[in-house]
Amino acid sequence: MAQAKQHGVWFHILDVVFNIVVIVAIVAGIRTFLVSPFQVEGSSMVNTLENNEYIIINKLVYFIGTPQRGEIVVFRPPNDPKKYYVKRVIGLPGDEVMIRGGNVYIKAAGKDKEERLDEPYLNASNQGKTYRHPPGSGDPREIDYIVPPDHYFVMGDNRQGSLDSRSFMLSDGEASPYVQRTSIKGRVWFVALPITKIHAFEAPNYHLEP
């Protein structure tokens, strides 16, 4: 009866190291191309997302597609490219976004008609209270944004307490309201922690004129 070949200690060490390398490579690949966890900081997305909640973002979806209106995204803002922000996509490339009287109006790319955006995710404190910069100004005057190609206009759901496309400025004070497509890292898929708040997200249907 043949005996099993005995391997030396170095074989077992190399085997363990190899398996660790493979696991690390798989995890790194998943985090880079598929999904990744993030922790929410601040109150700019209440009541949709709360401070210190852990979210999972889907990165793959933007490798094979583009951000859609209403999706919640994680991105690097133009005013601070070393940080990550989480906001909601409001304007798509070519859209005209108008803020007036506390509401958001959209003239979709290629359309002649503007429509007021129905935003059911805004809480009672923010419904009808979307203003120009600074967000809590209460300034009802109109301001228009025309979103350039390959860029997006984003806002937090806490409209009176969110630094977003209305507020983004470069170091020289020049307004920089649009987020580049390449700066958007993924779509918020679901809340992972705390366990009592686990739930997934879907983009709302704004019923804009096709």
Residues classed as catalytic: 44, 87
Burial code of 149-162, b = ≥16 C-beta within 10 A, e = fewer?
A: eebbbbbbbbbebb
CB atoms within 10 A of CB 194: 11
**CA–CA separation, 187 and 183 (whole Å):** 12
Establish whether the linkage from the previous residue to 194 is cis, with ω within 30° of 0. Answer: yes
Spatial contact of 48 and 204, defined as CB atoms under 8 Å apart: no
